[in-house]
Amino acid sequence: MNISALENTAKEMRREIIKMITAAASGHPGGSLSATDILTVLYFDKMNIRPEDPTWEGRDYFVLSKGHAAPALYAALALRGFFPKEELAGLRKIGSRLQGHPVSTKCPGVDVSTGSLGQGVSVACGIAKGLKIDGKDNRVYTLLGDGECQEGQVWEALMFAAHYKLNNLTVIIDHNHLQIDGNVDDVMATSPLDQKLDAFGFNVLQINGHNLESIATAIDRAKECTHKPTAIIANTIKGRGVSFMENQAGWHGSAPKPEEAEQALQELA
C-alpha cells in the first residue's frame, strides 16, 4: 500500500465531490467528505474488482447504505476507471447515469440501488448469505451512516448477519456524529455503538476513519475473522478537508455556492 498515492487520490476525490455538487447546486457534501478516506482504501487498495468488467462474478461487493453520499462513491468509481471522469459533471442531471442516489441499472460499478436508509445493509447481508450458499469467497462491504443506525431495519439485518455467521461481511459505520437535524445523540442516541454491536454478535473494531493505514489494517483484520461478521466504527469528521464544512450539520445536504466552492478547492489543492 502506497500511503502517499492514496492520500493524493483521497484529495482528488474530495475536489471532485465539491465540483460536482456545486455544478448540480444540490447534493450532500458533509457525509461524502467524511466517507472519502474509507472509499479510497476500499477501491484503490483492498477490494477485488475489475473496472473493465463491473459485473465480474469474482468481484467483492460494495453497498453504499448511506446512499446520499453518492458523490463520494461516484468520485471513487470514476477515478478507478469504471466510467469517464468527465461524467461527474452530470451529477443529478436528467439523463445522467449519476443520480442523486446510486442506481445499479444506470451506473457501472454500483452493485445495489440505495437511498432509503437502513435498506442497504439488509441487501448486503442477503448478498453475503447468497455467496455463502454458493460456496464463493467474494467479500461484501457496506457503508452506513451513524444517523442511519437509528433505523430499526439496520438492527434486524445485523441480527441476521450474526446469526448466520457472515464472516464475509464487513459493516463500516461512518461515525461523524452529525445528521441533517444536528448531533446524532441529540436526535436519537445510538451510542454506545461498540457495545451494541458486540452484543449483537459482531467482531467490533474502532478506528480513526481518516487514517488510511488504520482503515487498511481494520479491513485486513476483518478478513482474518473467520467466525463472525465484522463491524468497523470509523470515527470521522463531517465535511472533512474543508474548514468551513467540518463538524457543521448544515452542510449535510447543502451545495456550496461558487465562491464557497472556490475556497474549498483552494484548501484541497
- For residue 231, pLDDT beyond 90: yes
- For residue 1, pLDDT beyond 90: no
Per the listing, cell 451529477 goes with 91
Confidence band for 155, pLDDT divided at 50, 70 and 90: very high
For 178, 253, 266, the CA distances from 243, given in Å and listed in that order, are 16, 17, 11
The pLDDT of residue 118 is 95
Confidence band for 166, pLDDT divided at 50, 70 and 90: very high
- For residue 267, pLDDT beyond 80: yes
For 67, 134, 175, 194, 202, the CA distances from 73, given in Å and listed in that order, are 9, 28, 17, 26, 26
- Tell me what percent of the residues of the chain surpass a pLDDT of 70: 100
- For residue 151, pLDDT beyond 90: yes
**What's the whole-number average pLDDT of the chain?**
98
The residue ranges of every structural domain in the chain are 3-267
The pLDDT of residue 64 is 98
Q: Which residues sit opposite 208 in a β-bridge?
A: 235
pLDDT tens digits for 240-250? Answer: 999 999 999 99
Q: Which amino acid is present at 92?
A: R
- Tell me what percent of the residues of the chain surpass a pLDDT of 90: 100
**Rounded-to-integer distance, Cα 58 and Cα 46, Å:** 14
Confidence band for 135, pLDDT divided at 50, 70 and 90: very high
Compute the average pLDDT of residues 104-122.
97
Domain 3-267 maps to which CATH number in 3.30.930.10, 3.30.360.10, 3.10.20.30, 3.40.50.970? 3.40.50.970
